[in-house]
Amino acid sequence: MNSLLPDTLKEAAKVINFINARSLTSRLFKLMYEEMGYEHQHLLLYTKVHCLSLGKIFNRLLSSDKKFICSFWIKKSAFSSLFEKQDWVCKLAYLADIFDKMNDLDLLMQGFQMDELFRNSKMCVFFKKLEFWLKRVQRNNVSVFPTLDKFEDDSEINSLNTICDSIREHLTKLRNELLSYFPSIVAQDRTQDWIQNPFVGDTTSGPGLSDKLTKNLIELASDRAIELKFQNVTVFQFWLEVQREYKELSEIAISVLLPFAIYLPL
């Protein structure tokens, strides 16, 4: 992450901890939110939440508007000046947006029935979105980041150009990190599509299988009864159920869907 963004992240965390560590400040903050009609009336303690939840917390900070700054002036806090800095507010808005997007991806990747191919496909989609965001930011267009875009449209905040370099650097680094962990998201290998759904696509074109296994796949894909079964179970459960009849295809599919799991072949 660009050195300017971690500084903003650390400062925002200190603000959150400052509020939660002081009961009077926390109560005043809650009363202020009630008066202003906000749905969320508490800030979560930074050190007790998952880092990806920070997007929602930062959005609460930004939604506090000027009354929040005034409360800091009353307390004579060193943090009050942060919310007067246009570039700092824009950086915080970007962090709120990017953490929200990462949290959405994290939620998609969870779940017992989410197999490896499904996770790879979701990562591929996220990577394409990231490339799109990067192209937009390179043209100083931040409409893909709604919180930042809101402040950019605000006549009081005109510091977009000063932080676009930081955002571009961060997105580029994030892109490279994803590539190092998931190199297949660029290759877009289609030879394993038959595992996800053996009843679509051209099974005769040789999806990386031997002639014998390709013949077996053609037979499987032509069986209407098996296709009906596929429509009513998960992908993993389907390959388990056809294991007796199509043992080799099933074992290949299961090894891809659960690369780190141990199972007992029938």
What's the pLDDT band for 223 if we cut at 50, 70, 90? Answer: very high
What's the pLDDT band for 73 if we cut at 50, 70, 90? Answer: very low
Tokens standing for 207? Answer: 């999806």
Mean pLDDT, to the nearest integer, of 64-74? 49
Query: Is 250 within 8 Å of 240 (Cβ atoms)?
Result: yes
- Tell me the domain boundaries of the chain: 4-187, 193-257
**pLDDT digit string, tens, across residues 122-151:** 888 898 899 999 999 998 899 999 888 887
Query: Is 196 within 8 Å of 32 (Cβ atoms)?
Result: no
Give the separation between CA 227 and CA 263, rounded to whole angstroms. 24
Look at 14-23, 81-90, 218-227 and tell me which has the smallest mean pLDDT.
14-23
DSSP label at 111?
Answer: S
**pLDDT digit string, tens, across residues 225-265:** 999 999 899 888 999 999 999 999 999 988 888 755 444 44
Tokens standing for 123? Answer: 């990562």
**pLDDT digit string, tens, across residues 12-56:** 767 766 666 654 444 544 544 444 344 444 444 333 444 445 556
Using CB atoms within 10 A of its CB, is residue 166 exposed (0-12), middle (13-18) or buried (19+)?
buried
What's the pLDDT band for 90 if we cut at 50, 70, 90? Answer: confident
Strand runs labelled E in 8-123: none
